[in-house]
Structure 1
Amino acid sequence: MDWKPDFSSETPLYIQIKEVIKNKIALGEWVVGTKIPSQRALAEHFNVNRSTVVSALSDLMAEGLLEGNTKGGTKVVNNTWNLLAASPPPDWSSYVQSGNHYPNQPAIQHINRAEFQEGIIRLGTGELSPDLLPSAQMKKIFDKFSANSFTLGYEEPKGNRYLREQVVEYLRGLGIQSSPSNILIVSGALQGLQLISMGLLQRGSSILLEKPSYLYSVHVFQSNAIKLIGLPLDAEGIQTNQISRYMKGYNASLLYTIPSFHNPTGCMMSESRRQELMKVCADEGLPIIEDDVYRELWFDEPPPLPLKARDPNALVLYLGSLSKSLSPGLRIGWVVAPEAVIDRLADIKMQFDYGSSSISQWAAAEWIGSGLYQEHAAHIRDHLKRRRDLTLQLLETHFLGIATWSVPSGGFYIWIRFTVDVPMQMLFDHALKAGILLNPGSIYDRSAGNFLRISYAYAKPNELERGLSKLADLVKEISKPSV
C-alpha cells in the first residue's frame, strides 16, 4: 500500500487505518478470502504502534468485514456490498489457488515487490542499471521511426521479416548458419522457454540442467508438469560425464544449459567441455536448449563459439535476447531451431499474444542492422568490467575470511559462498530493513543455502560500496563460525 497515515490530522490514526483497509475491501482490491498482512507488518508499514493496528482491525471485525485467529491470520470474510446482499460474492481466493500455473517462490515474490521500494540497493538484480541503458540513442531511433512510414498492425507469426534477416546476419558473426525461416522472434528468451515447454514436451517428462540454475527460479517447465533434474557443475561447466547416467535414470527429453556466463554462478563453459557436451548429446540423441543471452557481455576475450555453431545435426535450440545487453523493456529475443519446430512454436505464440510488439521489433532491427548494437555492446562491456573490478575489490576488503568467490570473465554475477554459518532468511530480512535487497542462493538450488548471487550490473558504484560494506557487517553480526 502506498498510503501513509496523516499524523497531523485530527482523525485518530486507527480510524485512518480502518478506513483505508475498508476502502480496499469495498473497491475489490482485497476480495473475500484475502489474507491481509500481519499486525506487525501493518504497524511497521504505517509506522505506528501495534496497538493502533489492533484497534483498527478490531473495529473491522466487529463490522463483519474481517475474521482472524492466531493460526490462520486475519482474512477478509465480507465486503460492504456482501453485507447487504442475499447471496455471497465469489470466493476469488479459491480460484487463485486452483490455477494450473505455479506461483513464484515466496522469496521471488518478496524480491519482485521489494525491487521497487524507494531507496533500495539491489545487490542481486539481473539487469542493466538504468544509467547504462541507451535512452538517448533509443530516442533517436524512435525519432527516425516517426519520420518514416511504419505499421502499427500485427507482424507475421514468426516475427518481422527484416528483423529476422538482421538476426541471421548477426548470428553469422557467431558462426551460426540460419535463415529467416529458422528464427522466431519472442518477447524475451523467457517466452521462448515457455513456448518450448508447452509445444515440444509431454507432461511428466524430464529435462537435465546445471545445478544451480536460473531455471529453478521460474516455473515455466514445472507448471507444465515437467521435472527439472540437476547435474553437478564445476569451473568448466556442466559435468558431461554424468549426462548419460542421468538421462537414462530419468528418461530425460532434453538438456538446458547457459554455457556463457552462467546464471547464477558466472561460470564460463570451456571449449573442451563444449566439444564434450556436443559429442555426448549427439551420441545419446539428447536435444539441447542453449540459453546464450549473456554472450555479448565478455570482458577480456569473447567466449568460445556457441554450441549452435557446431551443430550439423540440428541438435540445439538456440535462445538469444537483447534484454541483458540492450534493454529489458524492449522485450525482444529469438529462438533458432529447425523450421518445423519454429512453425510449431510460432503457432503457439500466436495463440498467446499474436506476436511481439511490432514497434519493438522495428527498433531492434534498427539497432542490429545499423551496427549501433555492436557499438553499444562494447560500451556496456567496458562499464561492466569496471563494476566487476570494483565489486571484487570490495569483496576483498569486506568479505575476506567470511566468504569465497570466483572471478567471472563476463556477465552480471559473482557467486559467493559463505565460510561462516549464516542464517540466510535472517540475513535477507536484516538486509532488507537496512535497505539492501539480496538474491539468496536457495532460489537457484535448494541446497545452496550458504550462497548469494551478487550482481554488479544494476547497483551504481556508490551503492555497491555502501551495500557490500553494510552487508558484510550484517553477516559478521549474525553469523557463527562454520564447524
Structure 2
Amino acid sequence: MDWKPIRQGHTPVYKQIAEWMEQRIASGEFPPGSRLPSERLLAKELQVNRSTVVTAYEELRAAGLVERRQGSGTIVSRDIWGLARNRTPDWKRMAEAGLFRPNLPLIRQIRRDTQDSDMLDLASGELSPELVPHEQFRQLLAAGDFPCHFGYEHPQGNPQLRDTLVAHMKTWKGIDAAPSSILVTAGAQQALHLVVQCLLQPGDAVAIEDPSYCYSLPLFRSAGVRLFPLPVDSEGIDPDELLALHGKHRIKMVFLNPNFQNPTGTFLSLPRRKRLLEISAEHGIPIVEDDPYSLTAFSGEHVPTLKSLDRHGTVLYISSLTKIVASGLRIGWVVGPRTVIERLADAKQQIDFGHSIFPQWLANRFLSSEWFPAHLDMLRRELAGRSERLVCSLRESFGGSVEFVPPAGGIHLWCRLTGEWSENRMLAESVKRGVIFVPGMVFGSKKGFVRFTFGRPPKERIQDAISRLAEAYRSVCRQ
C-alpha cells in the first residue's frame, strides 16, 4: 500500500483516511455491497491506531457511504448514489455547523487512545482506581439509609450537602461561606461553563494563564470571548501583567488555577496572591479561582486559596471532588455572591433540572465521615510517591535532555525536552509504544513542552512508561 496519512498535516489523520477511503469507493475499487478492510488490518497497513480507523469509518457511516453490520464488518452502502427515495440528513455537516465548538482534533484523538486498556496513560487527569475509596462507598451504600427520594433536588443542590460543604471549606480551606452562596454542579467543568455562558458576552476580554488548561476548553471559543495570556513562571502569573492587560483591553474576568496549576504544577506565591487581590478590588476585575488540587499538597500543609484571602468579594471560587475522591461522582461547586449563584442555578436548572440526588447523598456522607481525613492522608502519600517515581524515572531515562521542577502537590509534571523535535511525531511514536501523554502545545503558546499526569498510571508502571517515552523521543530526534 503506497498511500500513508500525513501526520504533521493540518487535517486530522482520521479525516485523511476517511477521504482516501471515500475516493476508493467513488472510483469503484470498493463497489456497493463490498466489505471494507477490517479496522485492525487497515490500522496495521497504515501504521495508525485502530481507534483512528474506527473514527474514520464512523465518518463514512455518518455520510451514508457505509454500513456497520454486526458480524460482517463495514459494508459499502448499496445506495451510495441516492437511488432510494429515503434520504439520510447530512448529520456531518450539521454537526460541524453547531454553535458549540468541538474539542481540538488532537484532544479527541488523545481521549480515544486513552480508552485502550493496554495503554500506559500519562494523559488523563483523573485518579487511578486504587486511589478511589471504593470500599468506603460500598459500606455507605450497604448501610441502607438512603432517603429514597428520587425527585428533583433544590436548584442550588442538596441542602445537607451544601451544609457539609460549608464545614468542609471552613475546616480544610479557610473559606467562610453560607449554604445560600453555594451551587452544586456536575464537576468543575460545568461550573466553568455556567460562569462563561451566564456572566460573559461575545467580545469580552478574558485573561487566562499561559500555559493553561483553559486553552483546551472549547467553551471559551463557543462563547466568542477574546482570550489574553498571562505567562506563568515559577511563582505563577505576574499580577502587574494583568494590570497592563486591563489598561489595554479592559479585562472583564480572569480565570486562574493558582494551586498546583494544570499543567505546570506551579503555586502562585503569597505576595503575588495579595497583589492580585489588590488589583482585582481596585479595578473591579472578577477572579474565577479553579481549585481542584489545593488539598493534595504532599507536605500536608494548609494551602491558602485566593478565596480565603478575599476581603472584597471579587473571587468566584470553584472546586470539586474529582481530583481528591472520584471523578465519576461528578460533584463540583461554585461559591459566590447570591445574585450570581441564583443566576447560575437558574441556568443549570434549564439544562438538567438540578443535580442528581444520589451522588450528592454519597458525597455528603463521605465528606462528613471519619473516612475523609484518612483518605486524604493516603492520597497525598500515594501521589507524592508517584511523583517521586516519575521524577526519578525522567532523570534516569532522559538525563540532561529534560528540564522540570518537581511538583509539591497536584497530579501534573510539566517538562521541557531539549533539542529539535515534533510534538505530533513524538505523540505518534509514543502511542506506537503503548504510552499516551499530552503535548504542551494544547495548553498555550509554549513549544517543546509536555505534560505528564501521574495520578492515573499504576505506580509500578511509571518507570516502564517513561522508558518507552524516552525511546520515542530518541527516535523523533534522529529523524
Q: TM-score range by the shorter chain?
A: 0.7 to 0.9
Contact 2:64 2:80 in 1 (8 A): no
1: CA distance, partners of 2:78 / 2:152:
42
Alignment of 1:465-476 (within 5 A): 465-476=463-474
Pair 1:361 & 2:360 matched: yes
Match of 1:338 in 2: 337
Paired residue for 1:98? 97
Matched residue of 1:232: which SS? strand
Alignment of 1:285-434 (within 5 A): 285-434=284-433
Structure 1: distance between partners of 2:449 and 2:180: 42
Residues 129 and 50 (structure 1), Cα distance of their counterparts in 2 relative to 1, 3 Å cut: closer
Q: Which amino acid letter does the alignment assign opposite residue 468 of structure 1?
A: I
Unaligned runs of 5+ in 2: 1-14, 23-35, 47-55, 67-74
Equivalent residues of 1:297, 1:325 under 8 A apart? yes
Cα distance in structure 2, aligned partners of 1:348 and 1:34 = 39
Give the Cα–Cα distance (whole angstroms) in 2 for the partners of residues 152 and 79 of structure 1.
48
Distance 1:303 1:425 in 2: 39
Alpha-carbon deviation of 1:90?
A: 1.4
Q: Secondary structure at the match of 1:399?
A: helix
> 1:78 offset after TM fit, Å?
6.3
Provide Cα deviations, 1:250-293, integer angstroms capped at 9, x if missing partner: 22111111110000000011111111111121112111000111
User: Which residue in the other structure is 1:25 paired with?
Assistant: none
Distance 2:99 2:16 in 1: 19
Q: Aligned in 2, Cα 1:34/1:152: closer, same or farther, shift over 3 Å?
A: farther
Counterpart-to-counterpart distance in 1, 2:476 and 2:89? 46
Q: Residue 87 of structure 1: CA displacement?
A: 5.2
Letter in 1 for 2:186: S
Q: Deviations over 1:363-401 (max 9, x none)?
A: 011011123222211110011101111111111101121
Cα distance change of structure 1 residues 149 and 303 upon mapping to structure 2, 3 Å threshold? closer
Cα distance in structure 1, aligned partners of 2:222 and 2:321 = 26
**Letter matched to residue 391 of structure 1:** L
Q: 1:286 to 1:36 in 2, by over 3 A?
A: same
- Equivalent position SS for 1:220: helix
Q: Is the 8 A contact 1:254 1:289 kept in 2?
A: yes
Counterpart of 1:172, as a letter, is K
State how far apart, in whole Å, the 1-side matches of 2:126 and 2:153 are.
28
Shift of 1:86: 2.6
Q: Which amino acid aligns with 1:131?
A: E
Distance 2:16 2:340 in 1: 42
Query: Which residue of structure 1 aligns with residue 283 of structure 2?
Result: 284
Tell me: CA distance 1:204–1:79, structure 2 relative to 1, closer, same or farther (3 Å): farther
The alignment of Structure 1 onto Structure 2 pairs a total of residues equal to: 429
User: What TM-score results when the alignment is normalised by the length of structure 1?
Assistant: 0.84
Could you give the per-residue CA deviations for residues 82-113 of structure 1, whole angstroms, max 9, x where no partner exists? Answer: 84533532111121111001110011000111
Q: Cα–Cα, structure 1 residues 43 and 473, in superposed 2: closer, same or farther, change >3 Å? A: farther
1-side partners of 2:344 and 2:222: how far apart?
Answer: 18
Per-residue deviation, 1:222: 1.6
Amino acid at match of 2:40: F
Q: Which amino acid aligns with 1:250?
A: H
Aligned with 1:421: secondary structure? coil
Shift of 1:233: 1.1
Q: Which residue of 2 aligns with 1:47?
A: 41
Q: Distance in 2 between matches of 1:107 and 1:185?
A: 31
Structure 1 CA distance for aligned equivalents of residues 168 and 233 of structure 2: 30
Give the Cα separation in 1 of the matches to 2:21 and 2:465: 29
Are 1:282 and 1:315, in contact at CA under 8 Å, matched by a contact in 2? Answer: yes
**Distance in structure 1 (CA, Å) of the matches to 2:119 and 2:17:** 26
Instruction: Give the deviation of 1:304 after TM superposition.
Output: 3.3
Long gaps (5+) in structure 1: 1-32, 52-56, 68-75
Structure 2 match to 1:149: 147
Match in the other structure for 2:476: 478
417-426 or 258-267, larger mean C-alpha shift:
417-426
1:261–1:294 contact (8 Å) kept in structure 2: yes
How many angstroms apart in 2 are the aligned matches of 1:399 and 1:374? 37
SS in 2 for 1:233: strand
Task: Write the distance in 1 (CA, Å) between the matches of 2:97 and 2:129.
Answer: 37
The change in CA–CA distance for 1:39 and 1:169 in structure 2 (over 3 A counts) is: same
Matched residues in 1 for 2:383 and 2:105: separation?
30
Equivalent residue letter for 1:162: Q
Deviations 1:110-150 (A, max 9, x none): 01111111300111221111121111111111112x34433
Matched, 1:186 2:168: no
1:442 maps to a residue whose letter is M
Query: Is contact 1:125–1:455 with CA below 8 Å preserved after alignment?
Result: yes
Give the direction of change, closer, same or farther, for the CA distance of 1:234–1:189 in structure 2 (3 Å limit): same
1:288–1:316 Cα contact (<8 Å) kept: yes
Q: Distance in 1 between matches of 2:252 and 2:335?
A: 18
SS of residue matched to 1:318: strand
Aligned in 2, Cα 1:36/1:127: closer, same or farther, shift over 3 Å? Answer: same
- State the distance in 2 between where 1:458 and 1:131 align: 9
Provide the rounded CA distance (Å) in 2 between the counterparts of 1:289 and 1:77.
51
- Give the Cα separation in 2 of the matches to 1:150 and 1:437: 42
- What residue is the counterpart of 2:455 in the other structure? 457
